[in-house]
């Protein structure tokens, strides 16, 4: 598989981290953000990564998404081993195989909603699938907003545009980093609902980093990170089971 | 507050660099000019003093030599006056070893005490038949002690032997040749007395007043008072020159102010959160505003101080350079005086502080809540106010009216009109530049995603893009108008020269034919592009015996312009220099008889082709005239050195006693002066452009810092490093390219107005506008390339940004 091809067959595991470590700084100021993480992400499943602040969950996402290189260990997405790729290859990998939804500042302020949505495809020089585009626009309720700039959209609308952009290229994995952090409860529920629908109806593998148990409860599996390691995993989580687990690991 | 100011300046030190550099350059420029002008003034003053060092009393304003002569008699009768001399000065044609030249000639006083010339070789001329020459001219014309120089005193010739070489010394009495005072009587009316000076014992003031009372019409004063007058005259020219150059310095300062204001605006936008935080914890608006102005003051002070040092260094180097290349120009030593330094420093500080004022006020009006809100996307659009547009329209209207009025010949109106209209254009740049960038959009979009992003980016903040572009626009407009204007004027001058000096050099025999083969020898001279022998014959023209030349096609090619165009077989060209046809007018008919045949020819006048009448060669052949080569017409290449060509040609013609005339020296001199003026003007304007380019780089680098999040988002989305760099490069090109294009257009327009106002009636024949396409294209390329160069460092900064830096929550 090259960085630009879609996967030929759908494997059961979308991504895998093996003995992943990440160390920042040197000498006395050394920070061990990840201290040996072993993790698999299942295809077509909604995985939530949870943990207290400083647990390393964002660093883990960085490494899985090809935004950063680990100090040691392996990251595999599909057939590709990310840890052996150069910066340009990683860039092209992200373009084709990863979709991002950030907590805030998702969109380029000088582009319209439509242009923002098509940005990764533009960068790859690929033609958009317009039927897919129209469907996304309809499902996410953005038809009226396509020509508006981010400054003219509400927080919830901006996140929906970001989701549409993430889904537009049908990536291998969608990474969402605290997507509801800036939203009120109504918009949050909306955004999480869309993410889950894309997993259920489109088979889109989605990984969400969050610290809210209510958000994590939308996932199929919750992975709890503490002190740079996987503490525990919960399948089919509920808010209560998550809270229990959190209490147990003292988070 | 002081700690905050100092701490923030230390932290953000690098971001002030552009503003600092702008102040340094502008201040340094002014300081250098002031020091150099002061040194030039000192030099001029000193030489004036030296030429009158032996004199105690001076007399001027006589009506003629006779008044001076009678004053001399009366003065020498006075008991205190010991010596008297009249200082003569004039212009005379001298036959030098390398050719005839009209040079200045001055007098050597009979009395030794009143002589001011110093010799570097030989001795000063004291009796008839002796002459001295200034050192630099002696070198140039290969004259040595013992050579013979012939002077053409109108109706007779003087042969003088060089007895000494005189040190170069600038001053009102400076000349190329020096002859004893007595010799001037035999020079005819070639020279005029400049003044008369006397050496006296006792109190010069008393002697002066005695002599003054005894005469009417003359002004008699002490030598000191006279010297003061002369010094004033000498330094007046320097003063005017200094004022002109200070105009350029003013332009640099203005551009610098724009760059400084720009820097502060962007800096403060970046520190918006810090300043809002200060407001939160209790700083009132005025405190914030004041702290920013204090920063401006500090930058201005530091920049001005560095500028003074830089200016002094430049002045020292320049003085040395002038001493090397133009040793006869007197220059004092460059010194730092309080007066020369104080004003530029105050200006530098003042401009920086003023430029930081508006951004400071805007920073102070930040709401404290801005600090509490999560980091928002930077504010995207700003609109230009209606008031600005109204002002702009007003300036443009008044300015255009002034320019049009200037076309009628009112220079001042044209100048003011130009300035006002330009201010109007500058006010409009926040509208003009983004519109221009938008029209270039399709071109930018061809460059793919980076192109589209760059295009969108450069239109986001019209006011900031405009501020940056304005600085560059000013520089490019000025340079273009100077380049195009001078090319147009050069063309006009050339066309005029073609009419008045069509022949570069004309070699003719005073009687009889040219020696054989001389045409070939002349053509072989370096710098000669063509040497054509023109056949001629003895004939009777209008009753007089004349050498008549026959012009063929070859001869026509040796001549500039079309003064001989369309010469038909029934026309005769009478040179204006010929003194034999004073009563014949253009269009009259006169008889040409040669070889037994006679023809009636119509008269046509021309100038600058020697003094022999001309007809067509075919006419002479038809009339059966026996022709021999009588004159050689020489055309020099455009880049030839006039002096070298003339001395080489003279070396060939000397042996055969031939005459040389022609317009080559004049043409070369005039074009050289134009070229020098152009080079100096462009050089000074380039300083302003340099400051502007620093501003462009500055804007780009600060906007890179501002857009860290966006750029890291793009990297996360999948834009490679090279794509990010390309995006910035295209942005830089758009800004620089659009400014340059607008500037070139405006500059050409102003050049047209300028040339039409100043030179239209003087040189009416040539077209008003000649656009030197090569040079204009170069201006564009240099501006665009410099814009690109300005983005190299910012692009490197941008590429180092980690993807998704600052976007992730933790």
Please judge whether A68 and B723 are an interchain contact, meaning their C-beta atoms are less than 8 angstroms apart: no
SS3 for B123?
A: coil
Chain B, residues 328-387, CB within 8 A of chain A, namely: 374-375, 377-378, 380
Please judge whether B807 and A110 are an interchain contact, meaning their C-beta atoms are less than 8 angstroms apart: no
- Residue A6 has what pLDDT? 60
* CA atoms of B147 and B74, how far apart (whole Å): 39
What are B225's two structure tokens? 């008072």
The shortest CB-CB distance from B809 to any of A58, A106, A124 is to A58
The shortest CB-CB distance from A100 to any of B448, B716, B809 is to B716
- Residue B810 has what pLDDT? 46
Ordered DSSP codes for B106-118: EEE-SSGGG----
Chain A and chain B share a number of CB contacts under 8 A equal to: 95
Contacts of A95 in chain B (CB under 8 A): 717-718
Q: How far is CA B639 from CA B87, B490, B645, B651, B678, in A?
A: 40, 15, 11, 21, 17
A119: closest chain B residue by CA: B717
Q: Is the Cβ of A92 closer than 8 Å to some Cβ of chain B?
A: yes
Q: Is the Cβ of A237 closer than 8 Å to some Cβ of chain B?
A: no
Q: Is the Cβ of B297 closer than 8 Å to some Cβ of chain A?
A: no
Place of tokens 């001629």: B536
The shortest CB-CB distance from A120 to any of B453, B717, B810 is to B717
Q: Is the Cβ of A88 closer than 8 Å to some Cβ of chain B?
A: yes
- Residue A137 has what pLDDT? 92
SS3 assignment for chain A: CCCCCCCCCCCCEEEEEEEEEEEECCHHHCEEEEEEEEEEEECCCEEEEECCCCCCHHHHHHHHCCCCCCCEEEEEECCEEHHHCCHHHHHHHHHHHEEEECCCCCCCCCCCHHHHHCHHHHHHCCCCCHHHHHHHHHHCCCHHHCCCCHHHCCHHHHHHHHHHHHHHCCCCEEEEECCCCCCCHHHHHHHHHHHHHHHHHHCCEEEEEECCHHHHCCCCEEEEEECCEEEEEEECCCHHHHHHHHHHCCC
What are B17's two structure tokens? 């660099």
Please judge whether B717 and A58 are an interchain contact, meaning their C-beta atoms are less than 8 angstroms apart: no
Chain B, residues 767-806, CB within 8 A of chain A, namely: 802-804, 806
In terms of Cα–Cα distance, which of B337, B329, B109 is closest to B234? Answer: B329
A59: closest chain B residue by CA: B810
- Residue B380 has what pLDDT? 35
Q: Is the Cβ of B715 closer than 8 Å to some Cβ of chain A?
A: yes
The shortest CB-CB distance from B718 to any of A68, A106, A120 is to A120
Contacts of B714 in chain A (CB under 8 A): 108, 123
The shortest CB-CB distance from B808 to any of A58, A87, A149 is to A58
Please judge whether A105 and B810 are an interchain contact, meaning their C-beta atoms are less than 8 angstroms apart: no
Q: Min CA distance, B717 vs chain A (Å)? A: 6
- Residue B427 has what pLDDT? 81
Contacts of B380 in chain A (CB under 8 A): 109-110, 149, 151
Q: Is the Cβ of B489 closer than 8 Å to some Cβ of chain A?
A: no
Residues of chain A with pLDDT under 70: 1-10, 250-251
Cβ-based burial of A134 (10 A; exposed 0-12, middle 13-18, buried ≥19): exposed
Please judge whether A94 and B718 are an interchain contact, meaning their C-beta atoms are less than 8 angstroms apart: yes
Q: Is the Cβ of A51 closer than 8 Å to some Cβ of chain B?
A: no
Helix (H), strand (E) at residue B92: strand B81-96
The shortest CB-CB distance from A150 to any of B377, B715, B804 is to B377
Contacts of A58 in chain B (CB under 8 A): 808-810
Contacts of B456 in chain A (CB under 8 A): 110-111
Chain A, residues 195-214, CB within 8 A of chain B, namely: 209
Q: Is the Cβ of B460 closer than 8 Å to some Cβ of chain A?
A: yes
- Residue B379 has what pLDDT? 44
The shortest CB-CB distance from A88 to any of B377, B720, B808 is to B720
- Residue B373 has what pLDDT? 56
Q: Is the Cβ of A221 closer than 8 Å to some Cβ of chain B?
A: no
A122: closest chain B residue by CA: B449
The greatest distance separating any two alpha carbons of chain A, rounded to the nearest whole angstrom, comes to: 55
Please judge whether B810 and A58 are an interchain contact, meaning their C-beta atoms are less than 8 angstroms apart: yes
- Residue A45 has what pLDDT? 93
Contacts of B720 in chain A (CB under 8 A): 87-88, 91-92
Please judge whether B718 and A181 are an interchain contact, meaning their C-beta atoms are less than 8 angstroms apart: no
In this structure, what DSSP letter does residue B216 have? S
Our measurement of the distance from residue B383's CA atom to the centroid of its chain's CA atoms, rounded to an integer in Å, reads 41
What are B714's two structure tokens? 């793009």
Q: What is the ipTM of this complex?
A: 0.75
What are B196's two structure tokens? 């008369």
A124: closest chain B residue by CA: B718
Please judge whether B377 and A92 are an interchain contact, meaning their C-beta atoms are less than 8 angstroms apart: no
Please judge whether A100 and B720 are an interchain contact, meaning their C-beta atoms are less than 8 angstroms apart: no
In total, chain A counts a number of residues equal to: 251
The shortest CB-CB distance from A123 to any of B374, B449, B804 is to B449
Contacts of B378 in chain A (CB under 8 A): 109
Give the CA radius of gyration of chain B: 35
Q: Is the Cβ of A108 closer than 8 Å to some Cβ of chain B?
A: yes
Q: Min CA distance, B798 vs chain A (Å)? A: 15
- Residue B744 has what pLDDT? 94
Contacts of A88 in chain B (CB under 8 A): 720-721
- Residue B376 has what pLDDT? 47
Contacts of A102 in chain B (CB under 8 A): 713, 804, 807-809
- Residue A84 has what pLDDT? 83
- Residue B677 has what pLDDT? 75
Residues of chain B with pLDDT under 50: 375-384, 810
- Residue A164 has what pLDDT? 92
Q: Is the Cβ of A91 closer than 8 Å to some Cβ of chain B?
A: yes
In terms of Cα–Cα distance, which of B742, B748, B750 is closest to B783? Answer: B742
Q: Min CA distance, B710 vs chain A (Å)? A: 6
């Amino acid at each position: 598989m090259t960085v630009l091809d879609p996967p030929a067959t759908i494997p059961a595991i979308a991504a895998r981290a093996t003995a992943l470590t990440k160390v920042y700084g040197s000498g006395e100021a050394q920070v061990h953000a990840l201290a040996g993480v072993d993790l698999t992400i299942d295809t077509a499943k909604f995985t939530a990564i949870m943990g207290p602040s400083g647990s390393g969950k964002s660093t883990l996402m960085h490494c899985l998404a090809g935004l950063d290189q680990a100090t040691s260990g392996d990251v595999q997405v599909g057939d590709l081993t990310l840890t052996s790729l150069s910066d340009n290859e990683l860039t092209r990998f992200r373009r084709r195989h990863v979709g991002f939804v950030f907590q805030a500042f998702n969109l380029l302020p000088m582009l319209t909603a439509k242009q923002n949505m098509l940005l990764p495809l533009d960068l790859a020089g690929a033609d958009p699938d317009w039927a897919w585009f129209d469907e996304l626009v309809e499902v996410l309720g953005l038809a009226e907003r396509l020509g508006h700039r981010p400054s003219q959209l509400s927080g919830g609308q901006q996140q929906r545009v970001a989701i549409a952009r993430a889904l537009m290229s049908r990536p291998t994995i969608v990474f969402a980093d605290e997507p509801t952090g800036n939203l009120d409860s109504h918009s949050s529920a909306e955004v999480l609902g869309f993410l889950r629908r894309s997993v259920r109806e489109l088979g889109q593998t989605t990984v969400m980093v969050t610290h809210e148990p209510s958000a994590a409860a939308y996932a199929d599996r919750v992975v709890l990170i503490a002190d740079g390691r996987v503490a525990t995993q919960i399948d089919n989580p509920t808010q209560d089971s998550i809270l229990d687990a959190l209490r147990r690991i003292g988070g | 507050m002081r700690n905050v100011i100092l701490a923030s300046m230390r932290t953000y030190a690098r971001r002030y660099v552009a503003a600092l550099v702008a102040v340094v350059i502008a201040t340094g420029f002014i300081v250098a000019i002031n020091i150099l002008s002061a040194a030039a003034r000192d030099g001029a003053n000193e030489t004036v003093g030296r030429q009158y060092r032996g004199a105690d009393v001076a007399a001027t304003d006589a009506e003629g030599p006779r008044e001076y002569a009678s004053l001399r008699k009366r003065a020498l009768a006075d008991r205190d006056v010991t010596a008297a001399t009249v200082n003569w000065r004039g212009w005379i044609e001298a036959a030098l070893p390398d050719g005839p030249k009209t040079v200045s000639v001055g007098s050597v006083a009979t009395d030794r005490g009143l002589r001011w010339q110093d010799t570097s070789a030989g001795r000063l001329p004291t009796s008839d038949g002796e002459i001295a020459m200034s050192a630099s001219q002696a070198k140039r014309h290969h004259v040595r002690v013992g050579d013979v120089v012939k002077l053409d005193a109108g109706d007779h010739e003087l042969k003088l032997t060089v007895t000494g070489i005189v040190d170069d010394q600038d001053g009102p009495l400076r000349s190329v040749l020096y002859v004893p005072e007595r010799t001037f009587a035999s020079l005819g009316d070639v020279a005029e007395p400049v003044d008369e000076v006397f050496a006296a014992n006792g109190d010069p003031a008393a002697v002066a007043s005695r002599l003054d009372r005894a005469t009417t019409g003359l002004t008699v004063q002490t030598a000191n008072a006279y010297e003061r007058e002369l010094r004033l005259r000498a330094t007046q020219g320097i003063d005017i020159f200094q004022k002109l150059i200070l105009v350029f310095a003013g332009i640099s300062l203005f551009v610098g102010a724009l760059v400084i204001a720009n820097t502060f605006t962007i800096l403060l936008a970046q520190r918006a959160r810090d300043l809002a935080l200060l407001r939160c914890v209790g700083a009132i608006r005025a405190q914030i505003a004041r702290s920013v102005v204090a920063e401006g003051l500090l930058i201005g002070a530091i920049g001005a101080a560095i500028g003074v040092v830089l200016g002094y260094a430049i002045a020292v180097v320049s003085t040395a350079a002038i001493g090397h290349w133009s040793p006869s120009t007197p220059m004092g030593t460059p010194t730092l005086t309080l007066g020369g330094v104080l004003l530029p420093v105050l200006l530098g500080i003042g401009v920086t502080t003023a430029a930081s004022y508006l951004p400071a006020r805007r920073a102070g009006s930040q709401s404290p809540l801005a600090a509490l809100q999560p980091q928002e996307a930077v504010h995207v659009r700003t609109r230009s106010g209606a008031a600005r547009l109204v002002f702009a329209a007003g300036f443009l209207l008044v300015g255009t009216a002034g320019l049009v009025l200037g076309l009628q010949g009112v220079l001042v109106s044209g100048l003011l009109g130009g300035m006002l209209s330009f201010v109007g254009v500058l006010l409009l740049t926040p509208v003009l530049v983004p519109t221009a960038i938008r029209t270039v959009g399709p071109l930018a979009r061809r460059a793919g995603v980076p192109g589209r992003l760059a295009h969108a980016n450069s239109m986001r903040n019209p006011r900031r893009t405009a501020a940056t572009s304005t600085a560059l626009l000013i520089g490019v407009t000025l340079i273009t108008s100077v380049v195009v204007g001078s090319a147009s004027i050069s063309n006009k001058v050339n066309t005029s020269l073609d009419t008045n000096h069509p022949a570069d050099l004309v070699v003719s025999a005073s009687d009889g034919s040219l020696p054989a083969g001389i045409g070939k020898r002349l053509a072989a001279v370096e710098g000669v592009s063509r040497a054509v022998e023109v056949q001629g014959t003895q004939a009777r023209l209008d009753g007089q015996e004349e050498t008549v030349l026959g012009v063929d096609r070859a001869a026509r090619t040796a001549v500039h312009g079309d003064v001989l165009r369309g010469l038909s077989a029934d026309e005769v060209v009478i040179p204006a220099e010929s003194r034999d046809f004073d009563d014949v007018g253009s269009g009259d008919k006169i008889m040409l008889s040669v070889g037994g045949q006679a023809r009636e020819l119509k008269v046509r006048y021309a100038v600058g082709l020697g003094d022999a009448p001309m007809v067509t060669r075919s006419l002479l052949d038809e009339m059966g005239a026996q022709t021999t080569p009588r004159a050689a017409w020489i055309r020099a290449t455009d880049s030839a050195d006039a002096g070298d060509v003339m001395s080489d040609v003279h070396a060939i013609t000397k042996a055969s006693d031939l005459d040389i005339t022609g317009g080559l020296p004049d043409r070369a001199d005039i074009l050289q002066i134009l070229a020098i003026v152009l080079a100096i003007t462009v050089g000074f304007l380039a300083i302003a452009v340099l400051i502007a380019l620093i501003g462009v780089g500055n804007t780009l680098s600060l906007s890179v810092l501002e857009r860290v999040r966006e750029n890291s988002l793009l990297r996360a989305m999948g834009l490679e490093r090279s794509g990010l760099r390309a995006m910035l490069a295209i942005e830089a090109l758009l800004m620089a390219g659009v400014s340059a294009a607008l500037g070139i257009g405006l500059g050409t327009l102003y050049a047209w107005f300028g040339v039409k106002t100043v030179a239209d009636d003087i040189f009416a024949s040539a077209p008003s506008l000649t656009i030197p396409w090569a040079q204009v294209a170069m201006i564009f390329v240099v501006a665009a390339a410099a814009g690109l160069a300005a983005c190299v460092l910012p692009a490197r900064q941008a590429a180092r940004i980690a993807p998704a830096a600052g976007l992730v929550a933790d």
